[in-house]
Structure 1
Amino acid sequence: MTLANKTYRLLPEWYPQDGLQLTWPRPDGDWASLLSRIEATLERIVIATTRYQRVLISVPDVATQRRLAATFDAYGIPQSQLMLIVAPTDDTWARDHGPITVVDEALQPLILDYTFTGWGGKFPAEHDNRLTQWLDDIGVWACPVATRNMVLEGGAIETDGEGTLLTTEACLLNPNRNSSLSRTDVEAQLAKDFGVDRFLWLANGHLEGDDTDSHVDTLARFCNASTIAYVRCDDPTDPHYPALNAMEQELMAFRQRNGEPYQLIALPWPQACFDPDDGHRLPATYANFLIINHAVLVPTYGDPADLIALQALSVAFPEHTMIPIECVSVIRQHGSLHCLTMQLPRGTLVPALSHS
């Protein structure tokens, strides 16, 4: 995109990071019946991440802020590694209501604040939609923020950082997002904002229990500019098999800018997970991993395939430490590890951690 005579490009997840953003659940929110479990999972994410970088956490109230400060102090996490900010929120999915960062040619970042509507109006999102601006108003960001009227969630896009965007038709072309925009319109807007000139559209792929209309971060992910890790269903009797097999064929047909095929890393298919209350299937996926500085956090589900997924991703990230994060409770609310988080690239967070 061009702003103030500058050209910007979207950053890949492996770009060096200042920190990681989380949104802590409200006691009276959708996580109420699972609050202790989801908090335990989020604590594990914080403990793992603060070994490598800072963590910014939006918390619902002062009482939670004080409790978490004491908890993480007891874990031995330095205060300098945490920012605990009281802010009104609706839910925990920072990937989709968090900032999307681009950089100019001098690597100076700009935060783009897109409109978040709760995945096409499925859930309340008014507070989450304002969170990036709220954090800007209190001085958390070290770079400018530009507001966008377009509806877009971070989990819907993947980039190689070199001008290619990977996404899904089911989400970005869904009329519940930007009903007035055609594919050409969407491409034009994202090309302008992200500095991309190649679009890899997946027409196939969906996980039962997914509320996002097939976010690409549940299906296929860039590991580097030439490598894509993806969900592969190897069970012909599973209802997911036809769509995921078709998605695999699409990925095989995609080409890099130089005309070469992508190196594809198939991630294993976990055993079906079902909600213990009403029995509906839950969206367990190993594609929902998170790249941070020097490590990759990998969702696990107490499944024999967990180890296979960790081994597969260790091939994709030979210089990163693999850190398993148990996400059995997370999928109860139809997301996983990556969905809970948003990376904050270098230059986005203020150096001083004095906010409270």
Structure 2
Amino acid sequence: MSAAADGFRMPAEWAPHERTWMAWPGLNPTFDDPATLAASRAAWACVARAVRRFEPVTVVCGPGTSADARALLGPGIDTVERELDDAWMRDIGPTFLTSRDGELAAVDWTFNGWGAQNWARWEHDAKIAGHVSDLAGARTYTSGLVNEGGAIHVDGEGTVLLTETVQLGPERNPGWTREEAEAEIHAMLGTRKAIWLPRGLTADYPPHGYGTLGHVDIVAAFARPGVVVAHHQPDPAHPDHEVTKEVIGVLRAQTDARGRRLEVVEVPAPTALEADDHWSDHSYINHYLCNGGVVLCGFDDPRDELAAGIFRRLFPERTVTLVDARTIFSGGGGIHCITQQQPRV
């Protein structure tokens, strides 16, 4: 039986959380020298502390690293040790589900290093979803679909956002048809309407550093049922100007699972067009919703406060906290990419 057939579904991110899960950076091809590793650990710790203001946080650390992690994380943050390759809990961790009967379950997607990219290592990360699911006491459903948590976004009412270059890309799921991939997503998440975006941001693809080949959570995300926030690159000099125009057009033409025409709230990109010697994919869309809070990517940019204002209007009952995410983006992701919510049951 599938998770959906057993009565489970993925709640929206704004539903109450039991806790947030993160993973601790270790020396690997992403954090490949002591200075980069130290800066990344400091950045991860800042996010963990920002989330901890609103809900419990557990950080999975590599063997023998939890004491050093706790020294940076500070009090009140739990740690556990498991073998790790990288530190992107959104992607290597489980996708949690709940049932109306108050049960917790989780999807353990197949993980292959974001499409078996040459810089990725995933021998241990492919097992993290199962470990975290067990630690949370969840019932685990194993999926044969190669997928990551950053490649999906749900509204909690039956709609899921996907990207054609991820679930349908030959790097992850060769031979899967759109219908087969969509059916598996629905069977695991309890959704019934998929909105496929054509692609992700330019810097999310080779040869631009570390990328995911088009994760949706840097491009578009539900803010509430019927409302989507979308990355908008206003500068015609940036290739994402055309990319985001196309994505926003697709979203505006769509309805959700309940037949509502989507309202699209455009969030302008930061003003810097380049970062780390390539086109920038700095995005405010890659935020994290926690109990009573919005942890928002900051870039020491003139548009940081503009973005914060948009999110304050969207979430008037939540406290919006800007956290510098430039170091995290240098490693290939953002605040949403390093966090994973465990919903309250």
SS of match in other structure, 2:171: helix
Give the equivalent residue in structure 2 for 1:125.
122
Q: CA deviation at 1:103?
A: 1.8
Q: 1:212 to 1:131 in 2, by over 3 A?
A: same
Residue of 163, 169, 173 corresponding to 1:174? 169
CA–CA separation in structure 1 for the residues paired with 2:266 and 2:46: 26
Note if contact 1:227-1:316 (Cα within 8 Å) is conserved in structure 2: no
What SS class does the counterpart of residue 125 from structure 1 fall into?
A: coil
Q: 1:41 to 1:253 in 2, by over 3 A?
A: same
Q: Tell me the secondary structure at the aligned position of residue 61 of structure 1.
A: coil
- Whether the 8 Å CA contact 2:294–2:321 is kept in 1: the answer is yes
SS of residue matched to 1:103? strand
Q: Which residue pairs with 2:66 in the alignment?
A: 65
State the number of aligned residues.
336
SS at match of 1:208: helix
Summarize the Cα distance change of 1:186–1:315 in structure 2 as closer, same or farther, 3 Å threshold. same
Pairing partner for 2:340 from 339, 342, 345: 342
1:73-109 alpha-carbon deviations (Å, 9 max, x no partner): 4xxx33xxx3211111111111100110122232312
The one-letter amino acid paired with 1:300 is G
Counterpart AA for 1:106: D
Q: Residue 157 of structure 2 corresponds to which residue in structure 1?
A: 162
The one-letter amino acid paired with 1:126 is: E
Q: Structure 1 residue 204: deviation in Å? A: 4.4
Q: What is the letter of the counterpart of residue 154 of structure 1?
A: G
Q: The residue matched to 1:176 in structure 2 has which SS?
A: coil
1:44 corresponds, among 38, 46, 50, to 46
Q: CA deviation at 1:54?
A: 1.1
User: Shift of residue 29 of structure 1?
Assistant: 5.0
Counterpart in the other structure of 1:53: 55
Instruction: Tell me: CA distance 1:108–1:16, structure 2 relative to 1, closer, same or farther (3 Å).
Output: same
1:188 to 183, 196, 203: 183
Q: Give the partner amino acid of 2:115.
A: G
Query: In the alignment, is residue 18 of structure 1 matched against residue 21 of structure 2?
Result: no
Deviation at 1:72, TM superposition (A): 4.1
Q: Report SS of the residue matched to 2:238.
A: coil
The alignment's C-alpha RMSD in Å is 1.9
Q: Tell me how far 1:196 sits from its aligned partner.
A: 1.4
| Residue number in structure 1 paired with 2:208 | none
| Helix, strand or coil at the partner of 2:202 | coil
Give per-residue Cα distances to partners, 1:28-80, cap 9 Å, x unaligned: 55213412221221111121111221111111232x2112334444xxx33xx
Mapping 1:173-322, distance limit 5 Å: 173-210=168-205, 211-272=211-272, 274-276=274-276, 279-322=277-320
Conserved? CA contact 1:14–1:293, under 8 Å:
yes
What amino acid is aligned across from residue 226 of structure 1 in structure 2?
A: G
Change beyond 3 A, Cα 1:72–1:340: closer
2:70 maps to a residue whose letter is A
What's the CA shift for 1:254?
Answer: 1.1
Q: In structure 2, how many angstroms separate the alpha carbons of the residues matched to 1:147 and 1:155? A: 17
CA contact (8 A) 1:65 1:85 kept: yes
Unaligned runs of 5+ in 1: 348-356
TM-score, normalising length: structure 2:
0.91
